[in-house]
Amino acid sequence: MKAIVINPETGLMRTGWRILFFMVIFVAFSFGSMIGVRAILGGLKRGSNLQFAVLAISATVAVFLARKYLDRKSMTSLGLKWDVHAMLDIVAGVVNSAIVMACVFFTLLMTSLIQFNGFNWWREDSVNIDWGIAMILPVVLSTVFQLAIVAWWEEIVFRGYILQNMIGGLGLTWSVILSSAVFAIGHAFNPDATALSILLIALITPQLIYAYIKSGQLWLPIGLHLGWNFFQASIFGFDSSGQASPSLISQTPVGPDWLSGGEFGAEGSIIIIPFTLLSFFLIHYWVQMNPRPNRSSPVRQDVVGPSEERTIGLEV
């Protein structure tokens, strides 16, 4: 019975059990922290920076504990080595996503699938800017902060702990399929989500996995994730997975949802797919042009131990 839970060759809990225990820790910390904050402050506004910060802290604590006590590895080994390559990867990821989202926006605009309404300047209505950058800056910084912590916690959880443990137990192919599906299903309860939008998110997600595999670190997918959400929602005015936010540009989808994205945003349009392929090429050439000395491939059988049985041990 013990062998079902513990791999006798490594002395570690098997992959499926580790992921399950990690999720229990994450959920427990998230709910406990939010209940505590509500008790102290008398409430916690849904969608506020504080709520996202509590979630990010909970995710970080859960990953740290699971990585140290279940995997017996360091947080750094997850792909969080901080050096000059990390900073450059974040910037490159943001620029990559800016290019992709600009291509999507102008393609939809030129094909009359969206209507340009003017500039919001990060306010609720389209207005002429006559009140100075001092009024804009706090809104932009608040938005960047929120999107940055979302990119951080989602990447250390999904492309960090979950994906990397899956690779150790299932190998790369099944890990890509399953982790992309899990990430997409996590968006199923977002406003205006459809079967198509969930499928498209599953097809978009492998670019983040590819960025991790190619660079060996999580900083490039973190940059991609941050840039994707910021330029999609805060610059070009799409809803981000059904979530509206202050934006520079005001625009309205006018074509069929499967082409324009509808109220779900750019991720609900099939036009996102060819430009996601562009993202793969940009990721590839960025890493090729910026070699990392002594970088070992994260795709290996011993991601979580020298040997991982891939049958009953994965069943939890």
Per-residue pLDDT reduced to its tens digit, 191-209 = 889 999 999 999 999 999 9
43 is a domain residue: no
Provide the Cα torsion 80, 184, 202, 277; round to 10°: -60
For 147, the domain range is 76-314
Give me the mean pLDDT over the 50-76 stretch. 94
What pLDDT, in 10s, does the model give residues 104-116?
A: 999 999 999 999 9
What pLDDT, in 10s, does the model give residues 28-39?
A: 999 999 999 999
- Quote the pLDDT of residue 301: 42
278 is a domain residue: yes
| Average pLDDT score over the chain | 87
Number of domains in the chain: 1
Give me the mean pLDDT over the 138-159 stretch. 92
Spatial separation of the C-alpha atoms in residues 233 and 211, rounded to whole Å: 22
Q: Is the pLDDT of residue 145 over 90?
A: yes
36 is a domain residue: no
Q: Is the pLDDT of residue 314 over 50?
A: no
What burial letters (b/e) apply to 257-287, b meaning 16+ CB within 10 Å? bebbbbbbbbbbbebbeebbeebeebbeebb
207 is a domain residue: yes
How would residue 6 be classed by pLDDT, with cut points 50, 70 and 90?
confident
274 is a domain residue: yes
- The DSSP code sequence of 166-199 is HHHHH-HHHHHHHHHHHHHHTTTTSTT--HHHHH
- The DSSP code sequence of 213-238 is HHHSSSHHHHHHHHHHHIIIIIIT--
Question: Residue 219 is encoded by which pair of tokens?
Answer: 């900083």
CB 97 within 8 A of CB 204: no
- Quote the pLDDT of residue 307: 40
- Quote the pLDDT of residue 136: 78
52 is a domain residue: no
Residue 92: its H or E element: helix 84-110
Q: Is the pLDDT of residue 176 over 50?
A: yes
| pLDDT, greater one: 144 or 292 | 144
CB 53 within 8 A of CB 153: no
Q: Is the pLDDT of residue 82 over 80?
A: yes
Task: For residue 126, give every residue at least 6 positions away whose Cβ sits within 8 Å of its Cβ, in sequence order, or none.
Answer: 117, 118, 119, 120, 250
275 is a domain residue: yes
| pLDDT, greater one: 316 or 92 | 92
104 is a domain residue: yes
The pTM for the full model equals: 0.89
- Quote the pLDDT of residue 59: 96
